[in-house]
Structures are given as structure tokens and as C-alpha cells.
Structure 1
Amino acid sequence: MFIPEYQNPVLLQRADPWVYKHTDGYYYFTASVPEYDRIEVRRSQTIQGLAQGEVSVAWRKYETGPMSANIWAPEIHFIDGKWYIYFAAARTTETQDGLFDHRMFVLENASANPLEGEWVEKGQIITEWESFALDATSFNHNGTQYLVWAQKDPSIKGNSNLYIAPLANPWTLGAKQVMITTPEYEWEKIGFLVNEGAAVLKRNGKIFISFSGSATDYNYCMGLLWADENADLMDPASWNKLPEPVFQTNEANSQYGPGHNSFTVSEDGKHDILVYHARNYKEIVGDPLYDPNRHARAQVLSWDEDGMPVFGVPVPDAKQEAKA
């Protein structure tokens, strides 16, 4: 069987990459831009072509107020015939730049092509606490649309845990959230106590949720949750977590801090594709969040005989880098 290979990076300076292949044959891409000031959507009929694909600015931050700083980790989803973008945004004040003051927001577009038409603000996703919240993702299972996201519980030490809840509509929770993972292993707690960047993949009778942990430098890495497809997804006991990371820094390949991934499928539909960001150097001057060189990358995800995903190691960069 032909196994595709992608020339990495697929796209320069695009962190938290989200790729979705629609029924129209296009791959739709969005990600954090280095300026953290806007949301771009681009499309291409191939993953490799995203760097040169059509691109549109869906939304720009406000000068002041709740959506005026640090626009992070947008995701584009197609739900009930409309396009939705989930993203996190912070509020600027005179004393700070909004860092770690994020809330989650939703945009809606009824156009067939989300690079066209109007993106309408649907407002903030209201959760149990008015606290640091980000990285919303959504998936449908057995007719129920779910939201999974990262949030700070004021009563729990650390920065963020992962939560799940059914949705009443794409911007409103339909029931009380439950926590499905909190940082507990050392690899989730380096620099910050973080579980974030969830992505969902349904295969082999299971629902898998990948996530990222630790600070956004070379310690950043990915873990894995899974539940049986027939389990009660709102029961925290249904979710299992691997005790070791599934994807992490590989110095031999000069790939550092891989994480905040999404899943898509190959152009022929026969292979699952892991899309993620990583840097090609270890040492960073200043805050890693303001280092722009987390590049979007892609590689084939394989499976073992037990039906579990095999992430492997982040592959080395190609000699010719893509242009953003």
C-alpha cells in the first residue's frame, strides 16, 4: 500500500495547527499566527499545498475588551450545515497583556465555502467557572455533539485540566462539565501543570483524545486518553490515560516540543494523518510563547494490532522548507 510522505514543515510559523478535510475535497486549515491578532482560514486540495493555498482572514481582534489580546489556537468545524471556529482570546488591561486570562469564543459562517461569506460572533462559551479556558474542540458521537476543552479549576493546583460536556448548540453547553484528565505525571508538569490542546479521533471501537502537556518549550509533549465507543463519555471513569507520553522531543531529528495536534486523513482517504507543531531548535530566548518558530508539520499515524495509535517520532525537516 502506498504510504504518503509530507515535506515538513508544511507551513512555517503556524502553531496549534488544525486541519479538517471536508466533503468538498478541500483541506481547511487554521492555526495560531505569530502576532496572535487574527484568525486565518486557508484551503487546498492537498495537505502539502496548504502553504500556497487560498487564504482569508476570518476575524481580527478588538483594540480593547474581552477579545483584544492573544488570539490562540483556532479550530474550524462543520456542524449541522454551518462552519464554526472555536478560539481563545484574552483581555488587555493597562497593567498586563492578557496572558493566561483567556476565555473561549465561537464564530459561525453559513457559506458553503468558509473563505467567503460573513463570520458572525456567537459569543463566549460559558462554563462552570469564569477562569482561564482555551483549546475548545468538538466531535459528534451517536448523535450528540460534544465539546472538549482545557480550563483552570480554581480549586485545583495547576494551570489547566481537560473537560467534556454535550452541546445544546455549537456555542452553548448542554449539561454540567466533567473533568477527564488533570496533570498527574511528571511529563505533564514541567514548567506548568498543563493538559491542553485536545484532538479527537474515533477508530477501532474507541474514542481517542490526544492532548499536550508541560510548558511550550522543548518539554512540550503529547499524551493520550481513550474510551470505549459504547461507554458513557460523561463518566470520568470511562476515560483511560496512558502513563507515558506518546509523542515528544526527538533530538536526533532536531524536532523539539511537538504538540497541540489535529487529526485528518490522507488525500486518498486511506491513512490517518497527524498534524502538529514543533520547533527545529532547543534553546529559546525569552518566553517560548513569543518565539514564532513553531511550524506546522504532518506525518502518517499508524496503528498496532490492538487498535491503538502509534505516533512514532517527529520526522526530520525536509531540506526545502515551505513558505508561509
Structure 2
Amino acid sequence: MSSTPVFPNPLVEQRADPWVYLHTDGYYYFTGSVPEYDRIELRRAKRLQDLGNAETVVAWRKYETGPLSANIWAPELHFIEGKWYIYFAAARTTETRDGLFDHRIFVLENASANPLEGEWLEKGQLKTRWESFALDATTFEHLGRRYLVWAQKDPQIFGNSNLYISEMANPWTLQGPQVMLTTPEHPWEVIGFLVNEGAAVLKRNGKIFITFSASATDHHYCMGLLTADENADLLDPASWSKSQEPVFQTSEANQQYGPGHNSFTTLPDGQDVLIFHARSYKDIVGDPLYDPNRHARAQVFGYGEDGAPVFGVPLPDTQPEPTP
């Protein structure tokens, strides 16, 4: 029976919105929001626990002006049909504001075998139904179709962001209907801000699971879960059910505050790993978005009798493994 490792958490310090991708070359690739919100960094390691000390490469930097000039948030790295893609959100700096909550989704492409090398080409803005606040795009393939899930502000709906799904014509273009999967409605989704964001997709046990994060980015931040049958019409909102309570949230006992904006990966033996960010303290001075200490963390999780993931509670921080 496989042992359950305890990772040296934080896995990577000061990296919010962590994304880990295990590629066929045996490397774990990592990216996330940097505290300066001014660039996209990539790193890789053969073991998850080595990501914290891995060499970083700057894949892309923000512009001084224009729509790609502020608040570079939540990059994700995907390998699609032989090329690498980065999905990220960026805003526009103006004389009167720093672009906060004026984000759009953009896509980069790299044809190199190793995404830490080669050239990242800008594929431009990923256009959605509205020209409104949009971010946190993630993509997955199922039964021969590629989908995008993202967060966006519908100008007709009160609140900050809802989750949407659409089929893709190619890695930077949507096609067909764009459908809302969830809007903030439960008490745990509407604290500070009315937010559903940071989706991550998990295909297990005959079902499609989508985790998402809710509420403000302080200690109220938490994760919910959407579930659909793998044979259902994923573009039909009726195919999806939403958890009535958070599936992962602050643990005062373990001093883990505001866990969320997760991704998923696996260990070499097949165990599933939850990658997420959290703070180790509750009280924040100023705007939580500018507190840099949302660290990336990792922990193994399992499944309940109904086949749904059981994440438990965020574990306390550990000391890094000693250097051999």
C-alpha cells in the first residue's frame, strides 16, 4: 500500500493561484501569481517537493501601457496537441486606477518541447460573450471535445464573478454556447465579495469534478465543488450539482487561512494531490490582494464512498526536508 507523503509545506513561498502540471517527460511544471503581478514565471522539478528550490525562468513580462500592463494574475500552463499554452489574466493601467477588476483573459503559445525554453507567442485576448471582468481560465478535454472554464462578471447579474463553460474551436478561441455553471449564492460564497473563481477540473470515478473558490481573498476564501456525470452534456447547467457547503476551508487549529485557487496533480504512484494556496496567519494589513504571503501548498487526498474527492482540512506547515 502506498504511503502518504507529507510535503515540505509551503511548497513554494509567495506564489498564489498555484498551478502544477505533470508532463509526460516526468517533470512537474509550476507557475502561479508572483507578488509583483508583473510577469509570468515557470519552473520545473522531477519531484514535487523540489519545486521550491527549482530555477525559475521568466516566460513573459507585462507591458508598460495597454491591456496587458497591470495585475498579471493566475497563469496556467497546458500542453495541447504538441504545443504549450499559458492562460492568464491581465488588466489595463490608467491614470486613475491600477487596473484592478478590469481583467481580460489572454493566451500565450510555445512550440518548444521544454516550455522553459523557446519563444512565447501572444495569441491575444480570448474573447468571451462580454467585454467585462474575466479571469482564471482553465481548459480540459473530454470525449474528444475541448472545453474552457473561466470566471467572469455578467453585467446583468449582481456580484463579482460567476463560472462559465464553453467548447473551444482551438486553444485560444471559443465556439458555441457559453453557459453559466454557478453563481455565488450560499453564505460562504458571498463574504466580502460575491465570487466564484479559480476553477480546476478533475476526472475520476465516472464523474467530472470542478473545484472553485469563493468569497474574498482573506481567511474567508474557501473551495466549493461542482459534479457532473462523465456521460452528461457538460454544456447543460442541469448536468451539474453544487456542494451546499465548502469542501476545503480555513483551519484555525492548523493555522491555515483562506485555502483556495487550487490545481490538481498526481504522484508517480498515482495518488492524487491537491495544490492550493493559503496564508499561515489570519490578520492582514491593507488589501488582502497585496499581501504576498499566500504560499503554494500540497497535500494528498482520497475519495468517499460516492466517488467524490475528500480533501479534509489543510494540514499545518512542515519543515522542509533536510538537504542530503
Give per-residue Cα distances to partners, 1:70-114, cap 9 Å, x unaligned.
000000000011000000000000000000000000000000000
Which residue identity does 2:299 align to in structure 1? Q
Could you tell me which residue of structure 1 aligns to residue 278 of structure 2? Answer: 278
Match of 2:314, as an amino acid? P
AA at the equivalent of 1:317: D
Q: What secondary structure does 2:57 align onto?
A: strand
Q: Which residue of 2 aligns with 1:220?
A: 221
Alignment partner, residue 188 of structure 2: 187
1:321 to 1:154, Cα distance in 2 relative to 1, 3 A: farther
1:37 aligned onto 2:38: yes
> Does the alignment pair 1:101 with 2:90?
no
For residue 69 of structure 1, what is the aligned residue in structure 2?
70
Report the CA distance between 1:319 and its aligned residue: 3.4
Matched residue of 1:39: which SS?
Answer: strand
Q: What does residue 173 of structure 1 align with?
A: 174
Alignment of 1:259-298 (within 5 A): 259-266=260-267, 268-298=268-298
Moved more, 188-197 or 311-320: 311-320
Q: Which residue of 1 aligns with 2:58?
A: 57
* CA offset digits 1:230-287 (Å, max 9, x no partner): 0000000001101000000000000000000000001x23200000000000000000
1:22 Cα deviation (Å)? 0.2
Identify the residue that residue 3 of structure 1 maps to in structure 2: 4
Mapping of residues 1-324 of structure 1, within 5 Å:
1=1, 2-266=3-267, 268-320=268-320
Secondary structure, counterpart of 2:177 in structure 1: coil
Corresponding residue SS for 1:177: strand
When the two chains are superposed, the root-mean-square deviation of aligned CA atoms in Å is 1.0
Per-residue Cα deviation, 1:11-65 (whole angstroms, up to 9, x for no partner): 1000000000000000000000000000001000011100112321000000000
Tell me how far apart the structure 1 counterparts of residues 178 and 112 of structure 2 sit (CA, whole Å): 31
Range 164-173 or range 2-11, more displaced: 2-11
Given residue 68 of structure 2, which amino acid in structure 1 is its aligned partner? M
Q: TM-score, normalised by structure 1?
A: 0.98
Question: For the residues of structure 2 that align with 1:58 and 1:128, how far apart are their CA atoms?
Answer: 28
CA contact 1:40–1:56 (8 Å) conserved in 2: yes
The number of residue pairs the alignment matches comes to 321
What letter matches 2:194 in structure 1?
L
Secondary structure of 1:237's partner?
helix
Equivalent position amino acid for 1:294 in 2 = R
* Secondary structure in 1 matching 2:238: helix
- For the residue of structure 1 that corresponds to 2:253, the secondary structure is helix
Distance in 2 (CA, whole Å) between partners of 1:209 and 1:160 is 16
* Further displaced range: 50-59 or 290-299: 50-59
- The question of whether the paired residues in 2 share the 8 Å contact of 1:9 and 1:321 is answered with no
Distance of 2:69 and 2:6 partners within structure 1: 39
Contact 1:14 1:31 (8 Å CA) reproduced: yes
Q: TM-score under structure 2 normalisation?
A: 0.98
Name whichever of 241-250 and 312-321 sits farther off. 312-321
Task: Give the Å deviation of 1:143.
Answer: 0.6
Identify unmatched segments of 5+ residues in structure 2.
Answer: none
Return the alpha-carbon distance in structure 1 between the equivalents of residues 269 and 108 of structure 2: 28
User: Aligned AA for 1:282?
Assistant: K
**One-letter amino acid of the counterpart of residue 121, structure 1:** E
Task: Supply the AA of the counterpart residue of 1:13.
Answer: Q
Moved over 3 A (4+): 319-322
Contact 1:128-1:176 within 8 A present in 2 as well = no
The sequence identity of aligned pairs, in percent, is: 75
- 1: CA distance, partners of 2:90 / 2:269: 34
**Is the 1:8–1:321 contact (alpha carbons within 8 Å) kept by the matching residues of 2?**
no
Amino acid paired to 1:306: D
- Distance in 1 between the 2:177 and 2:119 partners? 31
Q: Find the residue that maps to 1:8 and give its secondary structure.
A: coil
Output the amino acid matched with 2:307.
Answer: G
CA distance in 1, matches of 2:40, 2:243: 33
Deviation of residue 4 (structure 1)?
Answer: 2.0
